[in-house]
Structure 1
Amino acid sequence: MRKIPDKNIMLFKSCLINGEYPGIESSTKYVFDKIGVEYIVDDRQSCCTGLGHYSDIYDQLSTTVIGGRNFSIAKKTNHTNIVMMCSTCYAIHKKVAKLLNNNIEVRDKVNNIYDETGLDEMKYEEGTVDSSKNIFHVVDILFDKKEEIAKNIKIDLSGFRIATHPACHYCKVQYEDVTEGFRDPKILDEILKSCGIETIGWYDHKRSTCGAGFRQRFVNRDLSMKVTSEKLISLKNENVDILVHMCPNCQMQFDRYQPFIEKDLDLDFKMLHLNICQLIAFAMGSDPYKVMGIQTHTVPIEPLIEKVEKNLTNEIKKVKTTNKT
Structure 2
Amino acid sequence: KILGKLGRLVDGKLLIPEEIVHYSEWLHVMRERIAEHRVIDCSNIRATVHPACHVHKMVPEDVLYDDTVLDGNRVAVSTGLLQTLGAQVIDYSTWYDCCGFGFRHIVGEREFTRSFAIDRKIKVAVEEAHSD
What is the TM-score normalised by the length of structure 1?
0.31
1:199-235 CA-to-partner distances (Å, cap 9, x unmatched) read: 11x2121122231122212323464234302211102
Within 5 A, what are the aligned runs for 1:1-325? 78=15, 80=17, 133-136=19-22, 138-180=23-65, 184-200=74-90, 202-221=91-110, 223-228=112-117, 229-237=119-127, 238-241=129-132
- Matched residues, percent identical? 26
3-state SS of paired residue (2:114) = helix
Q: How much does 1:142 deviate?
A: 1.3
Equivalent residues of 2:44, 2:88 under 8 A apart: no
Would you identify which runs of 4 or more consecutive aligned residues in structure 1 move more than 4 Å? none
Give the whole-Å Cα distance in 1 for the aligned partners of 2:14 and 2:46: 42
Give the 3 Å change call, closer, same or farther, for CA 176–153 of structure 1 in structure 2. same
Counterpart AA for 1:196 = G
Q: 1:217 to 1:153 in 2, by over 3 A?
A: same
The 3 A distance-change label for structure 1 pair 165 and 177 is same
Q: Work out the number of aligned pairs and report it.
A: 114
Partners of 2:126 and 2:74 in 1: CA distance: 20
SS at match of 1:213: coil
| Aligned equivalents of 1:163, 1:79: Cα separation in 2 | 38
Alpha-carbon RMSD across the aligned residues, in angstroms, is 2.7
Higher normalized contact order (CA 8 Å, seq sep 6+, divided by chain length): 2
Taking structure 1 as reference, are residues 180 and 153 closer, same or farther at Cα in structure 2, changes over 3 Å only?
Answer: same
Distance in 2, Cα, partners of 1:144 & 1:163:
21
> Normalized per residue, which structure has more helix?
1
Normalising by structure 2, we get a TM-score of 0.69
Cα distance in 2 between the residues matched to 1:204 and 1:227: 16
CA contact (8 A) 1:189 1:198 kept: no
Equivalent-residue separation in structure 2 for 1:222 and 1:210 (angstroms)? 13
Contact 2:125 2:131 survives alignment (8 Å): yes
Distance 2:111 2:36 in 1: 45
Measure, in 2, the Cα distance between the counterparts of 1:77 and 1:212.
40
Describe the SS at the equivalent of 2:33: helix
Structure 1 distance, partners of 2:99, 2:14, is 36
Counterpart Cα distance in 2 of 1:145 and 1:233: 32
Q: Which has the larger radius of gyration?
A: 1
Q: Which residue identity lines up with residue 15 of structure 2 in the other structure?
A: N
Name the CA distance, whole Å, in 2 between partners of 1:213 and 1:146. 27
Looking at structure 2, the residues matched to 159 and 77 of structure 1 have their Cα atoms a distance apart, in angstroms, of 48
The one-letter amino acid paired with 2:105 is Q
- Deviation (angstroms), 1:176: 0.9
Q: Kindly indicate whether the alpha-carbon contact (under 8 Å) linking 1:184 and 1:207 is maintained by their aligned counterparts in 2.
A: no
Q: Could you tell me how far 1:144 is from its partner in structure 2?
A: 0.6
Is the partner of 1:209 in helix, strand or coil?
coil
